Amino acid sequence: MSKRNNIIYWIATLWASLGLTATGIVQVFGKSAEQAHVANLGYPHYFIVLVGLWKFLGVIALLVPKFLLVKEWAYAGVFFVMTGATYSHLAVGDPFKEIYPSLLLLVLILVSYLFRPASRRLIPLTQKNQSYEPQSRRVPQ
């Protein structure tokens, strides 16, 4: 992996992790203003607390080395949560300033996923063959 790609990966991953941690804290330990915002979206308070806890677990999975399958699940989970948040804000007619944080985290997690190094991929890409086909199924050339 090139040095540029590695830098892009770590900036996106750390920024996404910071955003997920910050929003997770607000969701788990939120005050009445956050509860009113959540009620406006149509979700019960206990659901948002659960989403906040999932965010903490996702950040841990993204940052620790190894556990590649858990890391894939964390990327998928964050993707689903952020697309769900974006859609929820759009559905209730929230202004762009309310939609922007979930869109930003969505873009950051996608950049992190696309630029992650081979050591953090479930199936590493090779220089010769850029497919996701497992090693045992590749046809020799």
* pLDDT digits 0-9 by tens, 13-51: 999 999 999 999 998 997 777 778 888 888 888 899 999
Whether residue 46 is contained in a domain is answered as yes
Whether residue 131 is contained in a domain is answered as no
Whether residue 136 is contained in a domain is answered as no
Per the structure, the complete domain to which residue 111 belongs is given by 3-115
**Burial tier of 113 (Cβ tally within 10 Å: 0-12, 13-18, 19+):** buried
Whether residue 26 is contained in a domain is answered as yes
Whether residue 44 is contained in a domain is answered as yes
Q: How confident is the model at residue 131 (pLDDT cuts 50, 70, 90)?
A: low
Mean pLDDT computed over 94-110:
94
Whether residue 36 is contained in a domain is answered as yes
pTM of the model: 0.81
Per the structure, the count of domains in the chain is 1
Residues 6+ apart with CB under 8 A from 127: none
pLDDT score recorded for residue 125: 63
Q: Decide if pLDDT at 86 tops 90.
A: yes
